[in-house]
Every structure is written in C-alpha cells, then in structure tokens.
Amino acid sequence: MGRVYNFSAGPAVLPEEVLKEAAQEMLDYNGSGMSVMEMSHRQKPFQEIIEAAEADIRELMKIPDNYKVLFIQGGASTQFAMIPMNLMKNGVADYIVTGQFAKKAYKEAQKYGKVNVLASSEDQTFSYIPDCTNLPVSEDADYVYICENNTIYGTKYKKLPNTKGKPLVADVSSCFLSEPVDVSKYGLIYGGVQKNVGPAGMAIVIIREDLIREEVYPGTPTMLMYKTHADAGSLYNTPPAYSIYICGKVFKWLKKQGGLSAMKEYNEKKAKILYDYLDESRLFQSGVNKKDRSLMNVTFVTGSEELDARFVKEAKEAGLLSLKGHRSVGGMRASIYNAMPIEGVEALVAFMKKFEKENL
C-alpha cells in the first residue's frame, strides 16, 4: 500500500518530505555514522539540532525575547498539571471549558487550588465558543485558561478572551503553527506536538519569563518545574531527542512553505472546500456554530449512525483514512492539519459527493 490520505486527529499526517529526509538520515545523520536516535544529547550534532529547532520556531512564531521555548516530555496532558503547579501564586485560576481537553485541564487544576469555570459551552455539547468579551474574571486569578482549538468538536476561538489583565494560558495542540499568532497576548502557549508538528509524547511550551517561578506548589517534582527546563535549555535530563529532531525538520518545512501566513492561507483554502460542500450538502451536516469553525478539525454527521459507519468504512476502502469521529461524539471528523495536501481534501469531498448521490 502506498501513502493514504490520513485524516487522523493525532498522531497525524506529517509532511512527506520530512519523513523521506528522516528515512534517508536514519542510519547516518549528516556523516555522523549513526542515527539521531543513537546520539548523545550532550554532543555537538544534537546541540545543533535543538538550537536550530528553537531558533526556527522563534522565527516562525515571532516569539519575543522574554519568552522561553521548552521541549517537555509527557505530551499535552502533563501540562494540565504543570500549569497550576507552577503558575498558581494565589492558588486561584479561571478556566473556560469548551471541550473535553479543557475540562480535563480544569479537573486536574482543582488538585492544586481554587478553580473557577468562567464560561462553558457544555450546555450545547461544546458546539460553540462562548462570548468571552466581558467575563467575570476573578480578581485574584493567577491566569485564565483556554483550549484554543477543540479537536473533538471542531471549534476554535476566532478572538481571544478578554482576560482583564490576567495572563492567558492556551492549549494550542490542534492548531499549533497553523496560522500566525501574537505571542505577546499570552502568558503561556503550549501544545502536544503530535498533530501539526511531530511524533507524540512531547509538548512545546512557550512561557513568559516572569511566570517561571521557583516557589511552585509544594512537592512539585523537579521534572515538573518549568524552571528546571528553562535553566537547562530543555536538557536537564535526556530529552525526547528524536521528537525534537523531527519537529525541527517540520519547522524548516514550514519556513519553506512561506511561514505561518502562507500556512493560514493554505489552511483556509482547504477548510473552505470542505465547509462549502457541507453547507450545500443534503446528506452531511456540520454541527458546529458557523463562526467558531475550526480550520483543522472538521466534524460532520449524516444524522444516521448506520450511515455514518458505512461512510467511514467505504471511505477507508477508497484510501481516505481515520474519518471516524471521536468515540465520545460519534459522526465523522476530518482533521486537515498543515501537512494534509489540498488534493486530500478534494478527494474527500469528491468521495462525499458520490456517497451522497448513492445514499440520498
């Protein structure tokens, strides 16, 4: 079997060019006679890899100098705990709950302090982003937390919440590097890399320096302190070296594509093809508030579970993989991250049209 169109929500499609390059370098990285997997993280070849990766993501996201970039093990979920453990000075935080991952983060934070739900869209199965222009932000909140793109439901904040001066903390796992961001608007941005950036198991954390503190929650393990990773340049212990290497290659690929503005344009074009069709289809519907639609995760249903299941099965046979919606919501989900070519989206829409004709 050759390459398929992989619509998985994560781990997800990576640029073919990156995978081919990694394959070529598998046995002998850059004349070193070994794979990056076999290499000491304290020696020059890897030092160069991690330094270039940091420099490239700084350039792509225009990260100001007073922010640190940290490569941390444990995926995105570890950050659900690290954030409150490190950022709660007053022991108070406000969360906006727009999906399961925001809810998990909220629940985890409750272990470490007083946590308020500022707003939630759970009343309508997380199908929209609440109005966040004038929320009752707690006076003593150490931060306001959001999940910027909700992978399971297919919603995204188009405007950041008004945090009334409190640091904004955002989980960008499923919209990482998909469009330009103004980093200065956030106290901390983080994402698991397994969707838009690289192999699973690592998070990239971009944190404003004044939020890196020594006085963290009592008993916080050394490995869960941002300070540990910031002071050691993400090399306190053996880092997820191979993951950093692949992320670095994806950063170079993104630069070659024209950076994040070009990516945004491409992602908008891809998503439009799918949403335009969903809007005119008589079989498939998007269940998400129109103005909150994600460019990365497009969810849809036929209204019949049996038909949904048949669609997923027949799509797979046609080389369009992993279109089943999250187990908690059912239906379908097409994740169309940076590395999904426009041809993949066109092939999906062509298949949906054919399916509609046959089943209406």
Q: Does 101 bind ligand PLP (CB under 6 A)?
A: yes
State whether residue 228 is helix, strand or coil.
helix
- In whole angstroms, the minimum distance from the beta carbon of 230 to ligand PLP comes to 21
Q: Does 335 bind ligand PLP (CB under 6 A)?
A: no
Q: Does 155 bind ligand PLP (CB under 6 A)?
A: no
- Residues 6 or more apart whose CB falls under 8 angstroms from that of 147 comprise 98, 99, 101, 102, 105, 170, 171, 173
Q: E strands along the chain, which residues?
A: 5-6, 67-73, 92-97, 114-120, 144-147, 149-150, 155-156, 168-171, 188-192, 202-208, 297-300, 320-321, 332-335
Q: Does 145 bind ligand PLP (CB under 6 A)?
A: no
Q: Is-contact 26 16, C-beta < 8 A?
A: no
First to last CA, the chain: 32
Which span (38-46, 62-70, 154-162, 167-175) binds ligand PLP, by CB under 6 A?
167-175
Q: Does 174 bind ligand PLP (CB under 6 A)?
A: yes
- Residues 6 or more apart whose CB falls under 8 angstroms from that of 185 comprise 160, 168
The number of residues that bind ligand PLP (CB under 6 A) is: 12
Q: Does 190 bind ligand PLP (CB under 6 A)?
A: no
Sign of CA dihedral 262, 333, 99, 102: negative
Indicate the residue among 87 and 296 with the shorter CB distance to ligand PLP.
296
- In whole angstroms, the minimum distance from the beta carbon of 97 to ligand PLP comes to 13
Considering only residues 57, 67, 75, 121, which one is a binding residue for ligand PLP as defined by CB under 6 A? Answer: 75
Q: Does 171 bind ligand PLP (CB under 6 A)?
A: yes
Q: Does 98 bind ligand PLP (CB under 6 A)?
A: no
Considering only residues 5, 7, 10, 246, which one is a binding residue for ligand PLP as defined by CB under 6 A? Answer: 10
Give me the long-range contacts of 345-349 (CB less than 8 A, separation at least 24). Answer: 345/270, 345/271, 345/273, 345/274, 346/273, 347/5, 347/318, 347/319, 347/320, 348/5, 348/7, 348/274, 348/315, 348/320, 348/323, 349/273, 349/274, 349/277
Indicate the residue among 173 and 220 with the shorter CB distance to ligand PLP.
173
Q: Does 192 bind ligand PLP (CB under 6 A)?
A: yes
Q: Does 151 bind ligand PLP (CB under 6 A)?
A: yes
Considering only residues 97, 118, 129, 147, which one is a binding residue for ligand PLP as defined by CB under 6 A? Answer: 147
Helix (H) or strand (E) holding 194: none
Considering only residues 173, 243, 294, 322, which one is a binding residue for ligand PLP as defined by CB under 6 A? Answer: 173
Alpha carbon 179 to chain centroid, angstroms: 12
Q: Does 76 bind ligand PLP (CB under 6 A)?
A: yes
Which span (16-24, 46-54, 168-176, 217-225) binds ligand PLP, by CB under 6 A?
168-176
Indicate the residue among 77 and 116 with the shorter CB distance to ligand PLP.
77
- In whole angstroms, the minimum distance from the beta carbon of 147 to ligand PLP comes to 5
Sequential DSSP letters for 308-322: HHHHHHHHHHTTEE-
Burial class (CB in 10 A: 0-12, 13-18, 19+), 299: buried
Which span (131-139, 170-178, 252-260, 267-275) binds ligand PLP, by CB under 6 A?
170-178
Residues of this chain that bind ligand PLP (CB under 6 A): 10, 75-77, 101, 147, 151, 171, 173-174, 192, 194
